[in-house]
Amino acid sequence: MSSPKKPPKGSSPTAKRQRKRREEKLALIREQVADGTLKIRKMTAEERKKYPPRTKGEEKGKGRKRGR
């Protein structure tokens, strides 16, 4: 008996929709940077101290909680 083959990761309609939405957001950011309405700058030392980089296992705190 062979197990059913799973589709490649990221090929579900939801993943495609999320990828498309992300690309649209990035395109908007690039457009804003190009026309000067958005400025991307380095964080100051004070900001870096206040908002240190997240570790890989650290939760972002978004999304819904499961369990009823």
* pLDDT, position 9: 76
**Residue 5 confidence (pLDDT):** 77
Does 33 fall in a domain?
yes
Return d(Cα 14, Cα 12) in angstroms, integer: 5
* Domain-located, residue 55: no
Judge whether 1 lies within some domain: no
Domain-located, residue 59: no
pTM score: 0.58
DSSP state of 42: P
The whole-number mean pLDDT for each consecutive block of 10 residues of the chain, a chain of 68 residues, reads: 70 92 98 96 95 82 65
**Cα–Cα distance measured from residue 30 to residue 35, given in angstroms and rounded to the nearest whole number:** 9
Q: What is the pLDDT of residue 27?
A: 98
